[in-house]
Structure 1
Amino acid sequence: MDSIQPELFATVLSNVMLEAIPSVVGRVERKATVIGFALLVASARFQSNAKYAGLTGSVLRQLAAMLMDTTVKETKSMADRSIVDGSAPAAAAAAAAATAVATDEDLDSLEIEDTGYQASFARLATLGDIKIDPCPQITDPMVGLGQILKPVQAQIIVAAGPLSDETRECISHAIAQAQ
């Protein structure tokens, strides 16, 4: 990316990718985010470039915040599933059912040629619920983070600069948990 524009990756990392970390939902997605960013920060190429190494602290702060955030985040589809399963309050289920009823005008406006698209979309929508874990060997993101950072912890601590006590404790705990 830097061959296109100098410092482009550092800009995208700090202004886009790091800002998106708090919005990651789902157990598998959060684990993949932690492992991916940990591998990025621990890479020799990242640490050898001063522009990138300067972002180590920001990455670690975001990862620690994600790991310390134990609230359950759910997507719209997860919320919809809870309504169908009956785990949501009856009022919410009734409201969802009321908005899902199609009028006769809506049904009349459907065109026959859309059926091919609808069948393809139905197959894609069904496949969209399948979760593939990109790192099944790592069961706990905290342990995975520690395993990745442990071999390079001396460089990471120097590159990270000043961190809050909570962040430093979270990262130290992750490294201590690594086998």
Structure 2
Amino acid sequence: MVLDWDITLSNETIVMVWISSEDAVAVAERGFRIIQVPSDYFYLDCGAGESLGDYPSGSSWCDPFKSWSEAYTYDPLANLTEAQYELVLGGEQILWSEQSGPENLDPIVWPRAASSAEIFWSSKQPTGAALNVTEALPRLQDVRYRMVQRGLNPIRLQPKWCALRPNECDLYA
């Protein structure tokens, strides 16, 4: 919305980029600091359908569902100049709670939020290459099983058979 409204903002303004990941470049070009929350990667409630009772065939505005692996492919520094990297303060997963509550919160949030946290901690591999979903999967499986041991109810990333046999369920294994 900062991009759509003709208003003057302080250069101390922090902008949440949420409509599209493509908006980050335009926001950075204006010199604003950024919190990355693009709906094309991070909204946890996407894909759950519409919450309006009289609209049974409606889909949510941000469909489809964003899997942990889809979120993990996001590069928060994509298309920014090296000088603009420092404008990216971080990112977050968002959940509008019209269709969630204590009974289904864990599987909605976990481990998708953990995968997103890793991309903001790491952004790229030390070589500069993009983060790798195949390499992340065993770590996130481990995080998921630790959560289960602590009484949480995170969604499964794969069938247990696959979790016990890393890479055996890969499409190109």
TM-score in terms of structure 2 length: 0.32
Higher relative strand content: 2
Q: Which has the higher contact order (CA 8 A, sep 6+)?
A: 1
Higher helix share: 1
Structure index of larger Rg: 1
